[in-house]
Amino acid sequence: MKLNLLTSIAFCFVAIASYAQPKAMLVSYTPTNAAAGFRWEFTDLFEESDVFSDGASFIWADYQVFSTLGTRDDKTRSIIPPVGLHYEKHLFYNIGLRLDANLSVWEEEKVLAQTPDFGIGDEPQTFTELFEYRYWTAALGGNYHFTVDDNWDPYVGVVASYRQTRAFCDCVDESRSEVSFDFLVGTRYFLGDHFYFTLEVGQHGVGFVSGGLGFKID
């Protein structure tokens, strides 16, 4: 009888001790620092973009600086500042088809003729003419968009550009044109679902650097 009683008491102690053991494997630790769960990889750049979504279209206008014709020392007045109008349509994945039109119009005073200095007291005379310059480009090409953030839409592109420069006055009318393949890099920053700012660098326009405002059409 005493043996059975001692055996029962020992069994109760073992059972209580076993129940009191911490169940470590049943408890999961959640870090309190949210940054500890952040994970980013380089391949995320090539994931499908959220802002450059299926079927979307983008239209924007911009102002351009640093003329692709170089410095114009004889420029006297700007008639139409260097501006551009652009359109892009999502094709598939992160690739879009784009169209560009850019224009700049200004005046330059050029020397047409000058009388020789004969050294007999008469000052040489200079004859000048005011020329109007019209410089425009049109481009067709594509962009590849990267995924980095909900608001940013960076991209790189290549376009075929046609550009023409025309200079004319009452007595002279000359023009020059060329075709080139140009690379560009740019980004959009969305203010919401539709409006965004743009920034581009490239030789496809009338200026090397451009900034503007656009609208997204879903």
Q: What is the pLDDT of residue 6?
A: 44
Measured torsion, CA atoms of residues 73, 74, 76, 79, in degrees rounded to the nearest 10: -90
Q: For residue 176, is pLDDT > 90? A: yes
Q: What is the pLDDT of residue 180?
A: 94
Contact present, 48 and 18 (Cβ < 8 Å): no
In the block, tokens 């892009």 appear at 88
Q: What is the pLDDT of residue 32?
A: 42
* Encoded tokens for 31: 């870090």
- The pTM of the whole model exceeds 0.85: no
How many whole angstroms separate alpha carbon 103 and alpha carbon 66?
Answer: 14
Higher-scoring residue by pLDDT: 7, 154: 154
Say whether 53 sits in a helix, a strand or coil.
coil
Share of the chain above pLDDT 90, in %: 52
Q: What is the pLDDT of residue 117?
A: 66
Q: What is the pLDDT of residue 49?
A: 66
Q: What is the pLDDT of residue 23?
A: 43
Q: How far is CA 156 from the centre of its chain?
A: 8
Query: What's the number of CA atoms in the CB half-sphere (13 Å) around residue 130?
Result: 5
pLDDT in tens, 32-66: 444 444 455 655 566 666 677 778 999 999 999 99
In the block, tokens 């005379």 appear at 125
Q: What is the pLDDT of residue 12?
A: 46
Name the helix (H) or strand (E) containing 143.
strand 126-145
pLDDT grade, residue 10 (50/70/90)? very low
Residue 194 — φ and ψ, nearest 5°?
-130, -50
Q: What mean pLDDT is reported for the chain? A: 81
Q: For residue 78, is pLDDT > 80? A: yes
Higher-scoring residue by pLDDT: 75, 139: 139
How many whole angstroms separate alpha carbon 75 and alpha carbon 78?
Answer: 8
Q: For residue 202, is pLDDT > 60? A: yes
